A and B are shown apart, each in its own frame.
Chain A
């Protein structure tokens, strides 16, 4: 089973993400990046499936040159090779533009299963996978908290409002995994050394057959008009316990009439 994992590499969790008032985009250049923890779960799921059913796992990602560190991380975890969409022309892509580029890159190799994360941890639109599946002409099985493959079929436990649904399809298909589906492995020294020799293919939009007006800022359907700070929210009340914390909270709740 050949598996492609679409994983985003995002500003590290130690970085406070800022929006650039001019481009109205996240400040990514010059910022430390890491493999999105949500993407790490998709990578882990891919590795587990390939360990069980054979086949190679390929990482496909789109991002600026700062994302290389995250690609190396996925390779060190055990991914066989990586595809990096890197091109100034794709800057400013919205979700659909991103999906078009990812779809074109995925089509360059044979695949049975595409794995995504339910949403990225930095922009969390949660729709790139659904767009991608439609563009690839394969079904999307989303919100997976468990994935099993069996011959040419794939089955997931899909989160639902009151439990989960058992959902099944034939391959090829796309599965988007929920956070917490697994505990991603840490790269071992052997993996880290091996990663250095693994191939990272780099594509531009033109390599993928996409014209400049289909992707990037020009192709974006969504346009950000303004960025701003939300209206201030009433501060929460902090009860500092001096021996009567419990009583104070009960009083507070009584005061606002919840008890």
Chain B
């Protein structure tokens, strides 16, 4: 059907994943959104999908989909595609999603587009936007084979939307063929991570190769704790074995987005202008600093803990950090250690200055470029 867009719903940690809901928002915008939900799911799963735009759900709760990789799901989805011929099937660019789309594209001989950041659907044909070569290019692609188009969607490409639909749930038969039970998931090992997780974190403090070693990630943990955020890492740091994969940000790791940060900055500007009626002065930098001071003062009165957090962060934030714009990563601000060019003497100067200004105590120098400070 020319305007039906299917979303393959994924469950991780007994929850519908965020990317599933993001894809539903886009599916509902592009056409008629429907979802496929296979394997054991939380009780409110169908409700959640409907709430986010799914008007129909193809459902089967059989555990075969959880216990065996790819093949049972591919068999069921291929059957559904052949029967209903949706215009598009969206799968998350996740572990399960990539395997499923790869299998289906070969099975149905239709190809697929990876790494899709956005797409348009017109008369049954798609035009997908793909950030390529580390996002240095932005290409558009289409699939020329007739029938359902398979797209692998990057997480965080769309905003999930509440868009309640009357929903029809259609039960489908489980893939029961013995030959599909080939790749057995024997055990799921959860690697314990300390502190808040990247998923859903409001703020991420990330480090990479510039940190030079595992031990220096402790600094980021301190900072993240103060800021109420989570620690992330570049692939270089993960590959070096300094931190677990679960902390990786980027194309093959977790996607983080600066969107809400920017929006916050924008709304902040807006708020300031409204609150202080400083429109006419806004272009002059001196006035801007007044603006900031005022806001601070106001905040001090209204929100003492927030103010204390700022002060605390000012004291304990890493000495001479550098915000590096990383061309590859989706996260453009990396907190790394001090600049490489800072020699020992300069470092000592900086330290003395900071100690005097902020009554800070030198806690310990565990790297030429990194020094941890704690308040006296």
Which residues of A pack against B, CB within 8 Å?
17, 19, 24, 94-96, 99, 118-119, 124-135, 139-143, 145, 155, 157-170, 173, 179-180, 220-231, 233-241, 243-247, 249-259
Contact = CB atoms under 8 A, between A and B. Distances in A.
Given A236-B332, A253-B227, A221 B110 contact: yes
Contacts of A129: 102
B307 to A, nearest CB: 9
A250 B106 contact: no
A234 B350 CA distance: 30
Contact of A96 (B109, B246, B309): B109
Interface in B310-366: 310, 313-315, 317-325, 332-333, 335, 338-339, 342, 349-350, 353-354, 357-358
A221 B145 contact: yes
Contacts of A179: 235, 239, 252
Interface band, chain B:
35 or more
Given A130-B98, A161-B12, A256 B264 contact: yes
Contact of A239 (B251, B323, B358): B323
Given A140-B70, A170-B182, A222 B142 contact: yes
Given A161-B12, A166-B187, A259 B103 contact: no
A135 B99 contact: no
Interface stretch (B22-30, B46-54, B188-196): B188-196
Contact of A250 (B95, B306, B317): B317
A96 B139 contact: no
A230 B314 contact: no
Contacts of B274: none
Given A133-B103, A165-B187, A229 B136 contact: yes
Contacts of A228: 137-139
B40 interface: no
Contacts of A222: 111-113, 141-144
Contact of B138 (A134, A230, A241): A230
A166 B185 contact: yes
A96 B111 contact: yes
Given A225-B142, A227-B139, A167 B268 contact: no
A125 B115 contact: yes
* Interface-centre pick from B113, B229, B238 (highest chain A CB count, 10 A): B113
A107 B323 CA distance: 51
Chain A interface, DSSP helix/strand/loop, else mixed: mixed
A169 B262 contact: no
25 contacts: A126-B93, A127-B98, A133-B103, A139-B71, A161-B13, A162-B13, A163-B190, A165-B185, A166-B187, A166-B188, A221-B109, A221-B110, A221-B111, A222-B143, A223-B143, A228-B139, A235-B325, A236-B325, A241-B350, A243-B350, A245-B338, A246-B318, A255-B292, A256-B265, A258-B264
Contacts of B76: none
Contacts of B127: 225
Nearest to B342: A241
Contacts of A124: 114-115, 251-252
Nearest to B333: A236
B101 interface: yes
Contacts of B139: 19, 24, 224-228
Interface string B5-41: 0000000110000000000000000000000000000
Nearest to A237: B323
B90 to A, nearest CB: 15
B137 to A, nearest CB: 6
B304 interface: no
B140 interface: yes
Contact of B338 (A231, A241, A250, A251): A241
Contacts of A19: 132-133, 137, 139
B113 to A, nearest CB: 6
A229 B246 contact: no
Given A119-B252, A163-B191, A252-B323, 7 more contacts: A95-B114, A125-B114, A130-B103, A236-B332, A238-B322, A247-B314, A258-B261
